[in-house]
Amino acid sequence: MAESRNHGLKVVVGERNFAPHRELLESLLPVGVDTSWHAVFDEAALVADLSDADVYIGGRVTPSMARAGSRLRLVLTGGAGTDKVSFDDLPKHTLVANTFHHEDSIAEYIAAAVVAVRRDLLVQHAALRQGVWASAVYRDGVPQPQTLRGAMVGYVGFGHIGRRTADLLGAFGARACAVTGSGRVADDSGLEWHGDTADLGRLMTESDVVVVSAPLTPSTTGMIDAAHLRRLGPSGVLVNVGRGPLVVEQDLFEALRDGVIGGAAIDVWYRYPTAGDEAAPSDLPFAELPNVLMTPHISGVTRDTFVGRVRDVTDNISRLLAGRDILRVVTPP
Whose CA is closest to 60, among 13, 25, 27?
A: 13
Eight-class DSSP state of 258 = T
Calculate the alpha carbon distances from 127 to 12, 99, 175 in Å.
48, 41, 32
Helices (H), the chain: 22-28, 43-49, 63-68, 103-118, 121-129, 160-170, 200-206, 226-232, 249-257, 303-322
Query: 266: which strand partners?
Result: 240, 294
Q: Is-contact 284 253, C-beta < 8 A?
A: yes
pLDDT tens, per residue, the chain with 333 residues: 455 544 489 999 999 999 999 999 999 999 999 999 999 999 999 999 999 999 999 999 999 999 999 999 999 999 999 999 999 999 999 999 999 999 999 999 999 999 999 999 999 999 999 999 999 999 999 999 999 999 999 999 999 999 999 999 999 999 999 999 999 998 777 899 999 999 999 999 999 999 999 999 999 999 999 999 999 999 999 999 999 999 999 999 999 999 999 999 999 999 999 888 999 999 999 999 999 999 999 999 999 999 999 999 999 999 999 999 999 999 987
The reported pLDDT for the residue numbered 2 is 59
Q: Is 184 considered catalytic here?
A: no
Amino acid in position 57 = I
The CATH-assigned architecture of domain 3-101+302-322 is 3-Layer(aba) Sandwich (3.40)
Eight-class DSSP state of 61 = B
- Name the active-site residue from 23, 129, 278, 288: 278
Q: Which secondary-structure segment (H or E) carries 75?
A: strand 74-76
What Rg value do the Cα atoms of the chain yield, rounded? 22
The reported pLDDT for the residue numbered 6 is 44
Same fold yes or no, 3-101+302-322 and 103-294: yes
Superfamily of domain 103-294: NAD(P)-binding Rossmann-like Domain (3.40.50.720)
The reported pLDDT for the residue numbered 186 is 86
> Can you tell me the distance from the alpha carbon of 148 to that of 120, in angstroms, rounded to the nearest whole number?
13
> Can you tell me the distance from the alpha carbon of 242 to that of 57, in angstroms, rounded to the nearest whole number?
21
The reported pLDDT for the residue numbered 3 is 55
Q: Exposed, middle or buried: residue 198 (CB in 10 Å: 0-12, 13-18, 19+)?
A: exposed
Whose CA is closest to 212, among 253, 180, 171, 256?
A: 180
Q: Which secondary-structure segment (H or E) carries 102?
A: none
Buried b (16+ CB within 10 A) or exposed e, 99-118: bbbbbbbbbbbbbebbbbbb
Q: Is 103 considered catalytic here?
A: no
57 phi, psi to nearest 5 deg = -110, 115
Amino acid in position 35 = T
Q: Is-contact 265 240, C-beta < 8 A?
A: yes
Q: Is-contact 26 35, C-beta < 8 A?
A: yes
> Can you tell me the distance from the alpha carbon of 223 to that of 77, in angstroms, rounded to the nearest whole number?
25
Pairing of strands 152-156, 95-97: unpaired
Domain ranges of the chain: 3-101+302-322, 103-294
- Name the active-site residue from 297, 311, 319, 328: 297
Global pTM exceeds 0.75: yes
The reported pLDDT for the residue numbered 49 is 98
- For the chain, how are helix, strand and coil distributed in percent, rounded to 5? 35, 15, 45
Q: Is 129 considered catalytic here?
A: no
The reported pLDDT for the residue numbered 293 is 98
220 phi, psi to nearest 5 deg = -100, -15
